[in-house]
Amino acid sequence: MRLDKLLSKVGYGSRKEVKKIITEGLVTVNNEVIQRPQTNIDPEQDNIYVENQQIHYTENLYIMMNKPSGYECTTTVDFYPSVLELLDFYRDDLIIVGRLDVDTEGLLLLTTDGSFSHNLIHGKKKIPKTYHVELKYSFNKKFIEKLEAGITLDDGPVQPAQVTQINDKTIHLTIYEGRYHQVKRMMHYCENEVTYLKRLSIGHIQLDSKLNSGEYRFLKSKEI
């Protein structure tokens, strides 16, 4: 990989901006000052420093975040801050997998691996997603039976869900699609309303209970 491309990817600016950093002699590779932006380097093997700060880079990243309420799953800042602001590093190629609403908390995955993202969110693969759902009203057996039988929303039929009752106003709901506001619309269809929503898992990947709201960690190899 070219040195200027690497520095741009990890957040040091545009190609023009990183070229200035390199030509000013602020970058070392294996203890040697490098002033040619087009220099080819191996980011996983070479020791690269910018003004004494080491650059860590791997081709693909896999991140689990415990998303807090009040953050948007977007790469640009709009009305709310982006979840990317919770990271203490920058990569311009990060993909947000299975986005959550601003007021929804819990498991959020981020990656630079397009195949990994596609395999988790492609509708035809029917990847289960489990949510902790707190409701405005108590519910009865028919409420659960309706969800488990499969309902039809305004954009078409929904796969039968799996429901585990926690108490008279709380369930764990497993669904197999990822439609816009799906859980909230399902509850509204069943004449109830969501007061709190948190994603617990996507497929085999479970939210790490040790992660506080707003914290993240890299996925372990067995989780990928």
In this structure, the number of other CB atoms found within 10 A of the CB of residue 172 comes to 16
| Catalytic-role residue among 4, 42, 78, 101 | 101
101 classed as catalytic: yes
- Show the tokens assigned to 121: 């969110």
DSSP letters of 88-149? SS--TT-EEES---TT-EEEEEEES-HHHHHHHH-GGG---EEEEEEESS---HHHHHHHHH
Collapsing DSSP to helix, strand or coil, 161 comes out as coil
- Show the tokens assigned to 183: 């859980």
The catalytic residues are 101
